[in-house]
Structure 1
Amino acid sequence: MNLFQLRAFDAVSREGSFTRAAKRLSISQPAVTGHVKALEERYDLVLFRRTARSAELTPQGEALAALTRPLFGLVEQAEDLLLANRALVTGRIEIAADSPHVVMPLLARLRARHPGITVSLSLGNAAETYEALLTERASIGVVTEAEPREELHLEVLAVSEIRAVLARSHPLAGRAALDLAALDGQAMVLREPTSVTRRTFDRACRSRGVEPLVLMELDSREAVIEAAAAGIGIGIVSSLECGEDGRIRAIPITGADLSNRHAIACLARRRSLRLIRAVLDLAAETRPVGDRP
């Protein structure tokens, strides 16, 4: 068995791309393609479904990746052990997150503290972030309302509050805060039901017997803000995602727990790796006081 071929396959399985795998391994893209092709031909397998933009694992590829990821994870740990006495001046880390607004301040601190470290960031929903972590396509994940899992190490990174977003011409826009009960029967534009923000809001409404009139369900924060700014209805967004927009007001909502915790996560067995530990240490420096050990 050729370990160079397995390493190339593992890199493509993690990156979902032959081009990105080549960058990960610091070799040419044709070399990666050649290694994978040789592996497929030797064992008469099709490991990837190739498209113009990506490489998706076949069922046989998935089965092999389940073995190569922990295998080369151990290689990474061995290298980390051997480099333990060196300063952390170079390296590459893959991060997956479900919100750019939570992860970007962390990346800015990482850049300032360790400018030689290269970051690969992928953005998606919570389910996609979990998948990237569990399949080792990402070393670090940033997730809202993270679900505890035995294989994951979780630490609180930030806490946000849900705010009501209203057009400045809305009758309620002049208030300093809105009690949740004031939204009963109000026309609203909300994220899709699977959104973490939406689930938190719906749970609070049920606890208070509040029934807003949902006019639209939208698939992004930007769409919610645009609908609210157009006067279609009241929206809700995280306090970390409000931004500056002169067309709207983002008003705190009182009368219920409308907070969300944002966690930083990694595989528990990989938390001692130097790069991962460096990111966790930076996150700990700005952790909310009540959530520090």
Structure 2
Amino acid sequence: MTDERGIRTAGRKEGGITFGGIATFMKVAETLSFSQAAKALGVSQPSVSVQIATLETACGLPLFNRRPRLELTDYGREFFHRARAVISRMSELDDVMRDLRELRRGKLTIGFSTPHYAMPLVAKFMATHPSVDIATRLGNTTQLIELIADCKVDLGIMSLPAPNPGLFCQMFAAPRLMIGVHVDNPLVGRRELSPDDIRHQPLILRETGSVTRQVFEATCREAGFDPRPFIVAGSNEAVCEAIAAGIGVGPIFDGTLREHQTVRLLPFGTIPETCGVYVVMAKEARQLPAVDAFMQIVQT
């Protein structure tokens, strides 16, 4: 059913109400003039007329009486009150988005397997952008890759043997692989250790999924033996404490632990140039303002 202007007066036409139509309606309702509304909006009067007609068609109701003068119908007044709330919420949303772009609010979730490398970066970010909330997740490299894939962290700081082709990866540190030994172990006098030097030592290894373990095992296998863990420890700190307790020796990347009175770290073998500590994220995450700001800190 339509009125004399061809506007549907029952039901809604497919296409729906647009925000542009609402904004034009509000300006016409405030000025009660198509020409003044057009001037305020910076568009032509015919454009305003078309938008209002399209909005009325979408609503299936006449919003304005055109004769004898332009005025809101009862439907138009009802629409006006509700549209004003929509405009207010959209303005609020625009403010929120601007705050997020300019890092006046927001949240950044960071996963890491190497606190020694991650925390100084986190501290610098927090000092530079105090309004952004930081959440952290600790895990090994395999766990962190899964968290990134599941969108549970925005970025990860982790050791990788080589960049993951499916993710954005930027290396910012290349520590050497070391072997931690107790100060009383005869090996402590060596300048550097080879796989043969530790072939018969009790080995303290990280859990499956740890890059430290992957790189160590690959180095040993190239030398002709398959290392078997005497004990498995779930973190670098646990490996260090097991070494300090005299349980055995274990691989640790240089720089991941603070000095320990009873543990010495000795260089071990040669690792690929691609092996290092990386910032890792989904490729599209690089566009997020907080992530971009964090990467600027990494690159300085």
Measured in 2, the distance between the counterparts of 1:258 and 1:244 equals: 25
Higher strand proportion (structure 1 or 2): 1
Contact 2:116 2:257 in 1 (8 A): no
Of the three residues 252, 261, 274, the one matched with 2:289 is 274
Structure 2 counterpart of 1:227, one-letter code = A
Cα 1:202–1:246, aligned 2, differ >3 Å: closer, same or farther?
same
C-alpha distance in structure 2 between counterparts of 1:92 and 1:193, whole Å: 31
Counterpart selection for 2:190 from 150, 175, 185: 175
User: Is the Cα contact below 8 Å between 1:166 and 1:250 reproduced in 2?
Assistant: yes
* Residue of structure 2 in register with 1:120 after alignment: 135
- Matched with 1:198 is 213
- State the distance in 2 between where 1:131 and 1:192 align: 16
Aligned to 1:94: 109
Question: Which residue number in structure 2 is paired with residue 226 of structure 1?
Answer: 241
The residue type equivalent to 1:226 in the other structure is: E
Change (3 A) 1:135 1:232: closer
Deviation at 1:212, TM superposition (A): 5.3
1:269/1:173 Cα in 2 relative to 1: closer, same or farther (>3 Å)?
Answer: same
- Answering whether residue 148 of structure 2 is matched by residue 148 of structure 1, we say no
* Deviation (angstroms), 1:242: 2.6
Match of 1:257 in 2: 271
- Relative to 1, partners in 2 of residues 1:183 and 1:277: Cα closer, same or farther, differing over 3 Å? same
What corresponds to 2:223 in structure 1?
A: 208
TM-score when scaled to structure 1? 0.62
Q: Post-superposition shift, 1:164?
A: 0.9
Query: What is the CA–CA distance in structure 2 between the aligned matches of 1:280 and 1:132, rounded to whole Å?
Result: 19
CA distance in 2, matches of 1:241, 1:172: 21
- Number of the residue aligned with 1:108: 123
Match of 2:257 in 1: 242
CA drift of 1:129 comes to 1.7
- 8 Å CA contact 2:212–2:252 kept in 1: the answer is yes
Indicate the SS of the match to 2:176.
Answer: strand
Partner amino acid, structure 2, of 1:279: F
Query: Which consecutive unaligned segments of at least 5 residues does structure 1 have?
Result: 1-77, 286-293
Deviation digits for residues 14-46 of structure 1 (CA, Å, limit 9, x no counterpart): xxxxxxxxxxxxxxxxxxxxxxxxxxxxxxxxx
Is 1:188 aligned with 2:196?
A: no
Measure how far apart 1:165 and its partner are: 0.8
* Moved segments of 4+, more than 6 Å: 78-81
**What is residue 58 of structure 1 aligned with on the other side?**
none
Contact 1:91 1:117 in 2 (8 A): yes
Tell me how far 1:130 sits from its aligned partner. Answer: 2.1
Q: Which residue of 2 aligns with 1:132?
A: 147
The structure with the largest alpha-carbon Rg is: 2
Query: Does the Cα contact within 8 Å between 2:217 and 2:226 map onto a contact in 1?
Result: no
Structure 2: unaligned runs, 5 residues or longer: 1-92
Distance 2:197 2:259 in 1: 25
